[in-house]
Amino acid sequence: MMTSDELQVRLAELAASTLVPGAAVAILRGEETVSAVTGVANMNTGAPVVANTLFASGSICKVFTASLIMTLVDDGLVELDAPVQRYLPDFTLADPVKSAAVTVRMLLSHTSGLPRNFFPDDPAGPDVIEKFMQRLKAVPFPGTPGKQWSYSNPGMVTLGRIAEVLTKQTYDDALDQRILRPLGLNATTYPDRMIMGSTAVGHLVDPATGDVTPAPLFRKWFGNAPAGSTLWLDVAALIGFARMHLDGGLGPDGHRVLSEESVAAMQTPLADIWGFLYPRWGLGWGIADVGDRRLVAHAGGNIGMQSTLWVIPDQHAAVAVLTNSGTGFGLNSTLAAEILEREFGLELPAPPSPPDAPESVDPSLYVGRYGSVEGDLVVTCDANGSLYVQVEPEASQVDAGRLMGGPTEPSRFPMTCVDAERSRFLVAAGPEGSPLASMPMEFYEADSAGCPRVANLLFLAERVG
- Cite the active site residues: 59
Instruction: Annotate 361-398 with b (16+ C-beta within 10 A) or e (fewer).
Output: bebebbebbbbbbbbbbbbbeeeeeebbbebbbbebbe
Strands (E), 284-386: 286-290, 293-302, 305-312, 317-323, 368-372, 375-381
Closest CA to 309 of 363, 251, 231: 231
* C-alpha to C-alpha distance for 288 and 336, rounded to whole angstroms: 14
Identify the H or E element spanning 404. Answer: helix 395-404
Identify the H or E element spanning 134. Answer: helix 128-136
Residue type, 264: A
* C-alpha to C-alpha distance for 21 and 46, rounded to whole angstroms: 10
> In this structure, are strands 368-372 and 232-233 parallel, antiparallel, or unpaired?
unpaired
What proportions of the chain, in percent to the nearest 5, are helix, strand and coil?
Answer: 30, 25, 45
Determine contact, residues 441/389, Cβ cutoff 8 Å.
yes
372 CB contacts (<8 Å, ≥6 apart)? 115, 140, 142, 459, 460, 461, 462
